[in-house]
Amino acid sequence: MDVSVIGGGPGGLYASILLQKANPDWEITVHERNPQGVTYGWGIVLPNRTLSNLRAADAPSYEAIDERSTQWEPFDLYYGGERYRSSGHSFASMLRTDLLELLQERCRDLGVALEFESEIDDPQSLAAASDLVIGADGIHSETRSEFADEFGAETVDGEARFSWFGTEADFDALSHIFVENEDGIWCAHTYPGEVSTFIVDCDAETWANADLDQRSEEEYLAYLEDVFAEHLDGHELLSQVDRWQTFTTVRNERWSHDNLVLIGDAAHTAHYSIGSGTTLAMEDAIALADAIGESDADVGTALESYEQQRRPIAESLQRSGERSRLHFEDIRRFYGFDGIQFVLHHLTRSGRLTYDSMSRRDPDLVEEFERWFAASSPGGAATPEQADPVSPATQPLELRDLTLSNRAVRVAGQTFDARDGRPTDAQLAAVRERSNDGAGLTMTEPLAVSEDGRITPGSPGLYSDDHVSAWQETIASADTPVGSTLVHTGTNGARQTQPFGLEGPIPRNESWASRVTDQYSNPPRTYAPDRLQGEDLERIERTFADAARRADDAGFDYLQLQLGNGYLLGSFLSPLTNDRTDAYGGDLESRVQFPLEVVDAVRDAWPDSKPLGAVVQATDWAADGLTLEDSFAVGRALSDRGVDVLAPVAGGVSDDQHRGDVHGLANFSDELRNEVGLPTMATVQATTSDEVNTLVGTSRADLCTYYGSVNEL
């Protein structure tokens, strides 16, 4: 076969090595646009698992990498003037120039033709003249651009600014160094080596304040040397045609077209903060070479097999990289954390590490954190040193006068067999079962505030004094505090819902009551925001307040209002469902007014000593719908009105919703908690103590809905 490789970076060179090694009679040519010996960038990192794969794929190049790389195991984080060292993070780092040099040497040994200053302006002609073309030309791939439609290429730019530098300052571990000055927050990502890599990034606000784009290279290098003076130890920052840029996320719907295939950054990018760029490129090369070998050089079959194997892995790393990128872009949100709290949140930012995996990697660090968390919890020791190290999930939480013994929340499943809103014995038994297993809080299924506000005809409610007596005995006999969610379904009447479902209500089962019956004298559309008049709004507000009083009479300890998933109050918030043109419609400040009036009425009716929560819509996941930024504004307004807990949900408003790959309910809990400054209940389907500890312990939530065994917390 005649194989042409566009791009002489690590991925392109390594693919050439493996293909030539397996097929000595093939003609393989690498086309590199730069002169020999010229490259941009400083160091690269490779995790231990990748080193093992490189050893198995090609021992000679692995041995050269092993000889010229620096091995290290700890990770250092500098924050608030202190250094925190975490063990168990084994990597190797080396200069990019050294890696390219040894891979080029291995290519020559095998007979690969290396052509420098060979820029391919017409990939299509090259593909016509070759049996296989490998596009390994990086993040700004001309190959991808030439066939953008065929690949389904998409690029998205981030907001934070970064640039790569080198320094002769000595670092003995991968480090993230956070420094705050008058302009904002700076972070340096360092890799150890003969010449250390020193990547500097900052959020958009810091960049704007510092005006680095108005400074010459000499001026901004001097500025950064002053920012990081304590860590550079008198050494300069070394520049190598560095440029400030935002990170570009590259995605392609397809990685191949005819006999042309993309690998590495040309196919997909992962944020530099997780150190996976070179790893992805070289492991792509391994998978591509294996696929070609297994297909007996059938190019079409090989390229399909390569993508099937690598895409799930690459997309998983991309999601991790995106979470990490967003963490750095929103760093101000977390910068007030205590030191050890910041460290654990930072180390778990991408989702690749959990609480349990951190405990295995670095038990001493996690023990230090657990002592801090225990001392910070209600009734904790005076100092972390005096506290016993116990898992965060088992620590108490105070909400006004209510103290929860741990952070797990049980949610009773729905049975849909209430009669006229009064719970049946089966529904009450479900609550009793959950309230006696040791969770911190038990939540009943949602309770309707009016007959026509029920989710289904079999849904329970609190719209009659008769309902109060039905709940009193069950709540009085509970071993744990009991809470509930007050809801008016609005246009979602006569449908099924999950307590904290991602999608909101699902379509009505035809075996249930019709949408308009004696029980539903008003069709659900009657409760669309634009149909409700002044007297309707006043009545709805009263029903919520009356239900709150009944909840107190019944003995409920915690109450929250449903403001999400397209239910009535949530439908006022979303621009997709609120078409009003009066004081309750239009911009967000107006759309939130009626829900806030209901919150005020409920807060007045509900005792000051008892906490009030809100199920809040984080995003509609739909074009022109409610956004996360909108949710922050809603959360702040709720906080001002006396709401104590936010329980984020998403979607359920539009049939044309598109759930994001990166943001889920756990992420929304993290963002709302640390942006708004209120405790959050993560409305996830957690089944293990690791999930609860990861959310609560890393300050992403204060409570977590939990479906596992409480004894395992």
Report the pLDDT value the prediction gives residue 59, as an integer from 0 to 100: 98
Give the tokens for residue 706: 């939990």
> Which residue, among 446, 379, 423, has the nearest Cα to 613 in the 3D structure?
446
* Mean pLDDT on 2-24: 98
pLDDT in tens, 239-266: 986 689 999 999 999 999 999 999 999 9
pLDDT, tens only, 193-242: 889 999 999 999 999 999 999 999 999 999 999 999 999 999 999 998 66
567 is catalytic: yes
Phi, psi of 278, rounded to the nearest 5 degrees:
-70, -35
pLDDT digits (tens, 9 = 90+) for 502-553: 444 444 443 333 343 444 445 556 678 888 999 999 999 999 999 999 999 9
- Per-residue confidence (pLDDT) for residue 651, from 0 to 100: 92
pLDDT, one tens digit per residue, over 566-594 is 999 999 999 999 999 999 999 999 999 99
**Residue 413: per-residue pLDDT:** 81
pLDDT at residue 711 in the model: 87
**Can you list the domains of the chain with their CATH numbers?**
2-329 (3.50.50.60), 409-712 (3.20.20.70)
Lowest-confidence region among 125-139, 195-209, 434-448, 524-538: 524-538
Task: Tell me what pLDDT residue 664 has.
Answer: 87
What pLDDT is attached to residue 194? 86
Residue of 14, 78, 272, 567 marked catalytic: 567
The residues facing 250 across adjacent strands are 155
User: What mean pLDDT do residues 419-448 have?
Assistant: 93
pTM (two decimals): 0.92
End-to-end CA distance of the chain: 58
Contacts of 519 (CB under 8 A, 6+ apart): 451, 457, 513
Task: Give strand ranges (E) for 466-589.
Answer: 482-487, 558-563
Task: Report residue 157 as tokens.
Answer: 């730019």
Nearest-Å Rg of the Cα atoms of the chain is 29
Angle between helices 665-676 and 628-640 (to 10 degrees): 50
**Res. 122: pLDDT tops 50:** yes
